[in-house]
Amino acid sequence: MRWSYQNPVRVEFGVGTLDRVAPAIAGRPWALVTYGMDLFRDMGARIARAAGPPVVIIDDVAANPDFADLDGTCRRFSAAAATGVIVALGGGSVIDAAKVLAAADGDFAAVRDHLVDGVPLDPARILPILAVPTTAGTGSEVTSWATVWDAAGGRKYSIAHPRLYPEAAIVDPALTLAAPRGLTLATGLDALSHALESLWNVNANPVSAEFAIAAAREVLAVLPRLVDRLDDIELRSRQSHAALLAGLAFSNTKTALAHNISYDVTLRHGTAHGIACSFSLPQVMRWAIGQDGACDARLAAIFGPDLAAGADRLERFLEDLGVPTDPAAHGLDAGEWHRLVDKAFAGERGRNFIGRRALAAE
């Protein structure tokens, strides 16, 4: 068997590593991309005391970065002094928005033309990023792509370029302590989805698989306890570690069918991404079982040798966390569900899935 694995992101992990951001800036003029709440202002100020003030602060990033918002954000970014590095301090939406800013270098039209018409990005214009996640799930801190939404057009896009791998991921589990239960749950399930989706994936390799197995086992063990003990720094650290491992897994494989199903669920019904990409995991797992011996063996390392019982266990895990696995509970009638599955199989991420559309014909 031939395979390869590659990830260029330097990782700093552990409680207190927020203090490593200033040394990583290394005297360069820097931009801060974050949220506008006091907590994030305080974190930004802590970095600024050590690194000097940023040349620009973008602190109005919305969930699910959208064409309409990013156009104006890029214009404000371009009006600032020259930037040498972007510090992305926040959840997945912040890190994704930072990647758009890094690729656009002030001109969102370049990113829109790339996404819509396939016009190549200019790698010489892509700015370096320091990713500082404040949730435990996105994985964007160690991947080379970002999700960009066009709500008006009813589309979801992915921007991808090797230079969009962050220069460093600085993962301080203490930064996740303020995340409320709903956000902790949704981001934790996003990490679980990243891990499992990288296993039933045509691009899986032995290294990504080891990361994915470890990540999935840890999320299954930690998340039910964490949502009831949000101030437990040990559990926060374990979940952050699991999310990082899941990111390292799908950084090489991309996601698969469950994520492709999720995009329209989020666009049409407003369902949080982590919920939208996880409620279908038990059904997708059932479609994956028996399709690839290596995948079955890796799933058995997580769920035990009886994979059908493992899929049932995964369903109970979600239901016990308050995440129903019936599509109808997420606003999808039978007709819409089957249309979404058809569309998902045909999409890029759906084509990463090891199974076939005939498996989902019921």
pLDDT level of residue 156 (50, 70, 90 thresholds): confident
Q: What one-letter code names the amino acid at 124?
A: A
Quick: pLDDT tens for 115-137: 999 999 999 999 999 999 999 99
Domain spans of the chain, in order of start: 10-174, 181-360
User: Which residue shows structure tokens 């698989």?
Assistant: 209
pLDDT level of residue 48 (50, 70, 90 thresholds): very high
Q: What is the pLDDT of residue 4?
A: 95
Q: Is residue 152 over pLDDT 70?
A: yes
Let me know: does 144 contact 114? Beta carbons within 8 Å.
no
Let me know: does 102 contact 129? Beta carbons within 8 Å.
yes
Let me know if the fold of 10-174 is the same as that of 181-360.
Answer: no
Q: Is residue 236 over pLDDT 90?
A: yes
pLDDT level of residue 359 (50, 70, 90 thresholds): low
> Beta partners for 191?
none
Nearest residue to 254 via CA among 345, 320, 311, 193? 193
- Cα torsion 182, 134, 344, 310 to 10°: value is -60
Q: How far apart are CA 60 and CA 225, in angstroms?
A: 32
C-alpha to C-alpha distances, 245 to 62, 88, 103, 111, 138, nearest whole angstrom: 26, 20, 25, 29, 11
What average pLDDT does range 169-190 have in this prediction?
98
- Paired tokens of 229: 């003990």
Quick: pLDDT tens for 183-210: 999 999 999 999 999 999 999 999 999 9
Q: How far apart are CA 276 and CA 329, in angstroms?
A: 11
pLDDT above 90 as % of the chain: 84
Contacts of 78 (CB under 8 A, 6+ apart): 105, 106, 107
Is CATH 1.20.1090.10 the right assignment for the domain spanning 181-360? yes
pLDDT level of residue 358 (50, 70, 90 thresholds): low
pLDDT level of residue 79 (50, 70, 90 thresholds): low
Is CATH 3.40.50.1970 the right assignment for the domain spanning 10-174? yes
